[in-house]
Amino acid sequence: MHSPLLESKLYLPRNRQALVPRARLAERLRRRDGIRLTLVSAPAGFGKTTLLSALVTERPGRTAWVSLEESDRHATTFWTYLLTALERAAPGVGEGGLGLLQSGQAPIESVLAVVLNELSVLPDDVDLVLDDYHLADGPEIQPGMAFLVEHLPPQVQLLISTRADPALPLARLRARGELVEIRAADLRFTADEATAYLNDLTGLDLDAADIATLEGRTEGWIAALRLAALSLQGRDDATAFIEGFAGDDRYVVDYLLDEVLDRQADDVRRFLLETSIADRLTGPLCDAVTGRSGGKAMLETLERQNLFLVPLDDHRRWYRYHHLFGDVLRTHLREERGDLGELHRRASRWYEEAGETVAAVRHALAAGDADHAADLVELAVPALQRERLEPTLRRWLDDIPNDVVQKRPVLAVGFIGALMSCNEFDGVGQRIDDVERVLAGPADVLAVVDRGELAKLPGAIETYRAALALAGGDPAATIEHAGRAIDRAVDGDHLTSAAASALAGLANWAAGDLEAAHAGYTTAARDLQRIGYIADVLGCSITLADIETTQGRLRQAQTTFERALDLGEGLRGTADMYVGLSRLALERNDLDAASNYLRRAEDLGPAAGLPQNPYRWRVAMARLREAEGDLVGARDQLDAAERVYVGDFAPNVRPIAAHRARVMVAQGHLSAARDWVRQQGLSANDGLSYLREFEHMTLARILLAERARGEAIRLLERLQAAAWAGGRIGTVIEILVLRALAQDDVAPLERSLTLAEPEGYVRVFIAEGPPMTSMLASLAQRRPDWPYPRRLLDAVRRPTSQAPKPTGEQVLVEPLSDRELDVLRLLAGELDGPSIARQLVVSLNTVRTHTKHIYAKLGVTNRRSAVRRAHQLNLLTR
Amino acid sequence: MSHDSAWYEIRLQGQLHPRWASWFDGLTVTSAADGTTVIHGRVADQAALHGVLQKLRDLGLPLLSVARIDSDPAKHSTPGELS
């Protein structure tokens, strides 16, 4: 499967020909300060792209350029290109947002907040150009674009070229003076510009009257003047031609293109018309479509002669026709040939052989060859699923007629999977029924290209029924269908058995049956490993270790993470394993190790993390901060975690808000904690379930802090019974600690210690502070033969952070100033540029200057790397 | 506002060659004596109408009017009635 990211769309088109100087426009475009949006809005052929590419090439700063297409109406595609362009322009700026985006779960505002956070401290100016915005504009991308424009930091300017005004708050931007508008009336060539173009650049030597006539007839429309210039080249009778043109009412492009085509050699004319069916042109593709050779040379000739070609790279490899001319050429072609099916079929075949399924399918559909398109899609299904490109698959469902899909069970099941992975469940049940009916019917009506997949369908169908039941909140039916899927999975179909086992595991987990859940995930991880889905193995490992921790099996959880790390280096999910190890280290009260693991996770960068890692990392950091006694820092991390929170299929058994309520209790902010209880509708008399156990434990802590001991004890007793019955020993250990404190009774503590000792728990005891310390002390005195209580007491006395860390300032050639260190510390937090400026009571420009010096001294180019480097050099320890 | 198919008449500045009829999904393209062009025919729904308007935009042709008309095509296809 070809990568869906097309390089040519990020290519800044260079103006290879000399341009008409346009001082009057340059003057208006020069301003950068205070301008959020430069809008170039005019019909086709007014030189919008040329103007913007000349502008951003000339002025200092970095450029992120995206040439948009129809397919960019889909939000994920659009934002992927936009963030990738930013990442290319300023490395480090887009990658965090891209990671979140790929999860498919984060709201676009969260994705953009991460990117804006980076952009806002960038020392350089950035031009973000969205060319042909009208192709992408629509309800899918509008909310994110409005958010982006509203929050754009001053060093970034958005430049949009479009044929229709974008659905952005233009009136507001205009009123605030933050908008520069260039419209058709501004872009038209004036008489002077037309003269410069026709005579100076094209060398036509026309007199003023002829130029005035041309300018009048074309109304300064640049595309028309360009065609006129082509028609006039080598003509002796320029004046007669111009008069004929001026006296004609026909659509100027029609008239002139007829002239231009008439003047081309037959082979050139044929080449132009036939290849106009392709969105992009390259030599071999043109050869395939025209059935002749010499395509590459022809393209280069056309480019030299300025015949409508737009280069898409710097290597003279890929081109496209200027959109307007492409449309006109295709209309001429259709008039001459009628049926264009054969040309599209040839293009489809060429793309198929080149392995570019997306383009091959597009041309097959254009050829009216729905069956062949369906063949291509069916064969691409496994690769699309493996590469998580289900949204691409999902879009084809709209293009391939239903009756073609219905007789193809393999394809139909592929589409069912695509729909469900895009969270579209409506009508899926009906589709599954349909496929089963077709499969039960006579075999000779079935169309199947991918024979190997046919045998897998019964298992796959039950897997999707299980997933549908889970989405519908029916764990019992999920488990039932998953069991059937495993029974029906053919030998060697590890994907089906893995998916079904994971679904059963998930349903059991949500139902609180941790042992069955553990068994399901263990099988899923084994089968996923067999088929090389390593990122998913790591995902399962997180769940397995979570379950093991809840069961009070810390050592097993440690092994689970370590084994997962042995699967390979730098894999997606590796960072999550380190975050998990950090949490386990914290339970053992090894704060240095916990901190080191988090740093390693961060050093690996966003590519090594699963979509949930950004929030899990911050929650782990919050708990570390809390252990270090930095409660404000812990709250900050939890707030940040909430901003980057991304859910997955798994139940959210430890909500961030509950963590925060616990920190509030530690801070003594009991009324705030009580607000949380109210918002969640929690009460000590609730029925108990595993899914809300963490929240009820938090409630018990709040009750204790409120000195409602009787109520707290009753709740804890019920929680203990439920946790014990569910085999959740990890929870029981914590409950017993709280009961010991609530009842001022050492007996529950002794039981807790007995359960905890083999697994090496420390934090859960010593986190409770002086009351627990004195209980442990009396216990140690009473039972001198028992070393565990004494070890815990030692841990209380030991300073959390050992020897003073060496400072790394001396390794810098040029040390950071105190002020730069202040800025650096703030860069390590979550504030954006303007907020940092406010905090330090300086201007944003000052912050940017500091940032620039910091980056230079640390030898980095972006915020994330600066913070990482600062950690390595221990510059952030206060 | 109707969501069903309806007949529309779209008038443009300039004369468009009849070859463009296929571009507009089979609508009729007629040149009028006054140098304008009328595109008319049945469009499936509002979305289809906007599709036609977008194609006109992409050609850079100035739009003069868009009107919903009676369903009788014969009445509107003679150039004489258009000017």
Q: Which residues of B touch A328 (CB under 8 A)?
A: 59
Q: Is residue A494 part of a domain?
A: yes
Q: Is residue A543 part of a domain?
A: no
Domain C-terminal end among A262, A289, A314: A262
Report the SS3 class of residue A730.
helix
Indicate if A65 and A25 belong to the same structural domain: yes
Q: Is residue A574 part of a domain?
A: no
**Quick one: which of A613, A665, A658, A653 has its CA closest to A638?**
A658
| Inter-residue contact A105 to A647 (CB < 8 Å) | yes
Interface test with A, best of B12, B24, B25, B58 (most A CBs within 10 A): B58
What pLDDT score was predicted for residue A278?
95
What pLDDT score was predicted for residue A494?
93
Q: Looking at CA atoms only, how far is residue B41 from chain A in angstroms?
A: 19
Q: What is the CATH number of the domain that holds B16?
A: 3.30.70
Average the pLDDT over A149-161 and give the result: 94
As beta bridge partners, residue B9 has: B40, B67
Helical H segments across A441-510, by residue range? 451-454, 457-471, 475-488, 494-510
Q: Hey, are the CB atoms on A334 and B19 less than 8 Å from each other?
A: yes
Average pLDDT score, chain A: 90
Average the pLDDT over A228-239 and give the result: 88
Q: Hey, are the CB atoms on B17 and A45 less than 8 Å from each other?
A: no
Domain count, chain A: 6
What pLDDT score was predicted for residue A804?
42
Distance CA A56, CA A63 (A): 7
Q: Hey, are the CB atoms on A334 and B20 less than 8 Å from each other?
A: no
Give A250's DSSP letter. B
Q: Looking at CA atoms only, how far is residue A331 from chain B in angstroms?
A: 6
Q: Which residues of B touch A253 (CB under 8 A)?
A: 59-60
Q: Hey, are the CB atoms on A324 and B14 less than 8 Å from each other?
A: no
Write phi, then psi, for A385 (nearest 5 degrees). Answer: -65, -40
Nearest chain B residue (CA) to A324: B59
Q: Hey, are the CB atoms on A251 and B57 less than 8 Å from each other?
A: no
Q: Which residues of B touch A220 (CB under 8 A)?
A: none
* pLDDT exceeds cutoff 60 at A828: yes
Q: Which residues of A touch B17 (CB under 8 A)?
A: 250-251, 254
**pLDDT tens column, A465-478:** 999 998 888 999 99
Tokens of A158: 């958005």
Domain that holds residue B12: 8-70
What pLDDT score was predicted for residue A4?
54
Q: How many CA atoms lie within 13 A of A110 on its CB side?
A: 21
Average the pLDDT over A20-35 and give the result: 88
Q: Is residue B61 part of a domain?
A: yes
Q: Which residues of A touch B35 (CB under 8 A)?
A: 249
Distance CA A252, CA B47 (A): 28
Helical H segments across A206-356, by residue range? 208-218, 222-232, 238-246, 252-262, 266-275, 283-290, 295-304, 323-337, 341-353
**Nearest Cβ partner for B60 among A43, A249, A335:** A43
Distance CA A706, CA A698 (A): 12
What pLDDT score was predicted for residue A803?
42
Q: Hey, are the CB atoms on B15 and A251 less than 8 Å from each other?
A: yes
* pLDDT exceeds cutoff 90 at A748: yes
Q: Is residue B44 part of a domain?
A: yes
Q: Is residue A565 part of a domain?
A: no
Indicate if A72 and A170 belong to the same structural domain: yes
**Nearest Cβ partner for A250 among B15, B22, B57:** B15
As beta bridge partners, residue B40 has: B9, B28
Name the packing angle between helices A591-603 and A613-627 (round to 10°).
150
pLDDT band at A870 (very low <50, low <70, confident <90, very high): confident
Indicate if A140 and A51 belong to the same structural domain: yes
* pLDDT exceeds cutoff 80 at A817: yes
Q: Hey, are the CB atoms on B22 and A253 less than 8 Å from each other?
A: no
Distance CA A421, CA A190 (A): 54
Interface of A with B (CB under 8 A): 43-45, 163-164, 221, 223, 249-254, 323-324, 327-328, 330-332, 334-335
* pLDDT exceeds cutoff 90 at A87: yes
Q: Hey, are the CB atoms on B58 and A249 less than 8 Å from each other?
A: no
Of A603 and A656, the one with more pLDDT: A656
**Nearest Cβ partner for B59 among A327, A332, A334:** A327
| Inter-residue contact A544 to A528 (CB < 8 Å) | no
* pLDDT exceeds cutoff 90 at A831: no
What pLDDT score was predicted for residue B38?
93
Q: Looking at CA atoms only, how far is residue B62 from chain A in angstroms?
A: 10
Report the SS3 class of residue A785.
coil
Q: What is the CATH number of the domain that holds A507?
A: 1.25.40
Which range (A70-79, A585-594, A755-764) has the least confidence? A70-79
Of A46 and A2, the one with more pLDDT: A46
Indicate if A151 and A25 belong to the same structural domain: yes
Q: Hey, are the CB atoms on A334 and B22 less than 8 Å from each other?
A: yes
Q: How far is CA A577 from CA A528, A537, A539, A566, in A?
A: 17, 11, 9, 11
Which range (A347-351, A378-382, A866-870) has the least confidence? A866-870
Q: What is the CATH number of the domain that holds A110?
A: 3.40.50.300
Distance CA A618, CA A624 (A): 10
Q: What angle do CA A519, A524, A526 make, to 5 degrees?
A: 95
What pLDDT score was predicted for residue A862?
82
Measured from the Cβ of residue A679, the count of other Cβ atoms closer than 10 Å reads 10
* pLDDT exceeds cutoff 50 at A809: no
Indicate if A47 and A117 belong to the same structural domain: yes
Count of pairs with CB atoms under 8 A, one residue in A, one in B? 51
Q: Hey, are the CB atoms on A327 and B23 less than 8 Å from each other?
A: yes
Distance CA A43, CA B62 (A): 10
Indicate if A21 and A167 belong to the same structural domain: yes
CB burial class (10 A; 0-12, 13-18, 19+) of residue A476? exposed
Indicate if A383 and A256 belong to the same structural domain: no
**Per-residue DSSP letters for chain B?**
---S-EEEEEEEESB--GGGGTTTTT-EEEE-TTSEEEEEEEESSHHHHHHHHHHHHHHTPPEEEEEEE-S-SHHHH-HHHH-
Indicate if A257 and A281 belong to the same structural domain: no
What pLDDT score was predicted for residue B24?
83
Q: What is the CATH number of the domain that holds A279?
A: 1.10.10
Q: Looking at CA atoms only, how far is residue A369 from chain B in angstroms?
A: 19
What pLDDT score was predicted for residue B79?
44
Nearest chain B residue (CA) to A222: B60
**Nearest Cβ partner for B60 among A221, A330, A332:** A221
Element (H, E) at A102: helix A95-103
| Inter-residue contact A548 to A560 (CB < 8 Å) | yes
What pLDDT score was predicted for residue B74?
53
**pLDDT tens column, A555-613:** 999 999 999 999 887 788 899 999 999 999 999 999 999 999 999 998 887 778 888 88
What pLDDT score was predicted for residue B72?
58
What pLDDT score was predicted for residue B83?
35
| Inter-residue contact A496 to A463 (CB < 8 Å) | yes
B15 touches chain A (CB under 8 A): yes
CB < 8 Å from A in window 20-79 of B: 20, 22-23, 31, 35, 37, 57-61
CB within 8 Å of A77: residues ≥ 6 apart: A4, A71, A391
Q: Hey, are the CB atoms on B59 and A163 less than 8 Å from each other?
A: no
Q: Is residue B49 part of a domain?
A: yes
Q: Hey, are the CB atoms on B17 and A254 less than 8 Å from each other?
A: yes
pLDDT band at A104 (very low <50, low <70, confident <90, very high): low
Q: Looking at CA atoms only, how far is residue A871 from chain B in angstroms?
A: 54
Domain that holds residue A434: 370-445
Indicate if A143 and A38 belong to the same structural domain: yes
- Express as a percent the part of chain A with pLDDT over 70: 97
Q: Is residue A820 part of a domain?
A: yes
Q: What is the CATH number of the domain that holds A856?
A: 1.10.10.10
Domain C-terminal end among A503, A532, A561: A532
ipTM surpassing 0.85: no
Q: Which residues of A touch B20 (CB under 8 A)?
A: 331
Domain count, chain B: 1
Q: How many CA atoms lie within 13 A of A220 on its CB side?
A: 13
Distance CA B15, CA B20 (A): 11
Distance CA A549, CA A204 (A): 81
Q: Looking at CA atoms only, how far is residue B1 from chain A in angstroms?
A: 21
Q: How many CA atoms lie within 13 A of A326 on its CB side?
A: 17
Q: Is residue B48 part of a domain?
A: yes
**Quick one: which of A552, A558, A512, A513 has its CA closest to A732?**
A552
Distance CA A131, CA A462 (A): 46
Of A555 and A339, the one with more pLDDT: A555
Q: Is residue A794 part of a domain?
A: no
Indicate if A256 and A281 belong to the same structural domain: no
**Nearest Cβ partner for B57 among A164, A328, A332:** A164
Average the pLDDT over A693-708 and give the result: 96
Q: Which residues of A touch B16 (CB under 8 A)?
A: 250-251, 254
Q: Is residue A832 part of a domain?
A: yes
pLDDT band at A101 (very low <50, low <70, confident <90, very high): confident
Point out the residues of chain B with pLDDT beneath 50. 1, 76-83
| Inter-residue contact A510 to A477 (CB < 8 Å) | no
Give A198's DSSP letter. I
Indicate if A253 and A287 belong to the same structural domain: no
**Nearest Cβ partner for B61 among A164, A251, A331:** A251
Indicate if A122 and A219 belong to the same structural domain: no
Q: Is residue A728 part of a domain?
A: no
**pLDDT tens column, A209-225:** 999 999 999 989 999 99
Interface test with B, best of A46, A249, A252 (most B CBs within 10 A): A249
Of A21 and A606, the one with more pLDDT: A21
**pLDDT tens column, A478-532:** 999 999 999 999 998 999 999 999 999 999 998 889 999 999 999 999 999 998 8
